[in-house]
């Protein structure tokens, strides 16, 4: 696949202006972050699988570029296109990701592989592609948009949680290995966000009749209700955090965003496995329980 890209504005970069690459910009956090970054003065590359979905970002001043994080050819060509023009990628924001629902017993290995291809391997490979130039220049920032879902686990979201737990370890290993080269790794752990994520997750629910149909239905109802809450975290709030941490001289290793992201992991830790399991048992009322 030949790379397709378009520039939304004339490059007037000054020596101090940073180049930022953001994945998954069609909607949600990626979209909000691209707008926030271009307004903050970054040379902003907003990427996604479909350029048509990025037209408003191009109009706002972003450089839009086609990037499928699950395709090696797409990943390599996207990074090479930016390096060819600017000689550097100062900041990488790994945002692309999605969730899916399904019982561990029944979800297919292909479904789990697809989850990891986007949420883990796409993140890992883009880090590998930008790091050599960052290491040569002695500086760079990698932001990984993880999730509170990498700290707690809910029933029927196992594939998603596994991928986000993996991202936690990825961020820790990367930070400890690359900090000596001036590369900063920052992990964000937001609570549920108001975006298409909830709809995508709910759309993945199997409609067939299985031993888990009723219990999974209850979890789906809880999930749907939670994504209707007016207090749901907004993409703009996460974007604002990304602007702040990338500008910080001494950012922390990880940032929990939202009240639930602070409370829920601590609460489940205090409760312990026995009480937490009992809580979920009472919520979903599994058969033969």
Enumerate the active-site residues.
160
Q: How far apart are CA 127 and CA 178, in angstroms?
A: 11
Neighbour-count burial for 80-101, b at 16+ CB within 10 Å, e otherwise = ebbbebbebbbbbbbbbbbbbb
- Tell me the C-alpha distance between 102 and 219, whole Å: 10
Cα–Cα distances (Å) from 236 to 33, 84, 129, 162, 232, in that order, read 7, 31, 28, 26, 12
142 vs 71: CA distance, rounded Å: 20
* Strand-pair category, 19-22 with 91-94: parallel
Per DSSP, what are the bridge partners of residue 21?
A: 45, 92
């Amino acid at each position: 696949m030949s790379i397709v890209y378009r520039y939304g504005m004339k490059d007037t970069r000054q020596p101090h202006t940073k180049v930022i690459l953001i994945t998954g910009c069609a909607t949600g956090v990626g979209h909000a972050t691209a707008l926030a970054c271009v307004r903050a003065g970054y040379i902003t590359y907003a990427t996604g699988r479909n350029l048509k979905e990025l037209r408003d970002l191009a109009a706002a001043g972003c450089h839009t570029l086609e990037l499928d994080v699950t395709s090696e050819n797409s990943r390599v060509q996207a990074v090479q296109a930016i390096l060819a023009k600017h000689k550097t990628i100062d900041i990488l924001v790994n945002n692309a990701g999605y969730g899916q629902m399904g019982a561990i017993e029944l979800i297919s290995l292909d479904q789990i592989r697809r989850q990891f291809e986007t949420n883990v391997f796409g993140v890992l490979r883009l880090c590998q592609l930008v790091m050599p130039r960052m290491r040569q220049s002695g500086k760079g920032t990698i932001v990984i948009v993880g999730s509170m879902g990498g700290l707690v686990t809910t029933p029927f979201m196992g594939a998603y949680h596994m991928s986000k737990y993996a991202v936690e370890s990825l961020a820790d290993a990367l930070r400890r290995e690359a900090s000596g080269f001036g590369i900063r790794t920052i992990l964000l752990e937001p609570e549920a966000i108001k975006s298409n994520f909830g709809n995508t997750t709910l759309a993945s629910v199997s409609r067939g009749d299985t031993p888990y149909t009723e219990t999974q239905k209850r979890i789906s109802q809880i999930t749907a209700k939670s994504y209707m809450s007016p207090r749901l975290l907004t993409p703009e709030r996460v974007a604002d955090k990304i602007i702040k941490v990338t500008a910080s001289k001494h950012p922390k290793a990880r940032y929990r965003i939202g009240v639930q992201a602070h409370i829920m992991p601590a609460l489940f830790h205090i409760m312990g496995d026995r009480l937490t399991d009992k809580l979920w048992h009472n919520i979903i009322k599994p058969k033969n329980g």
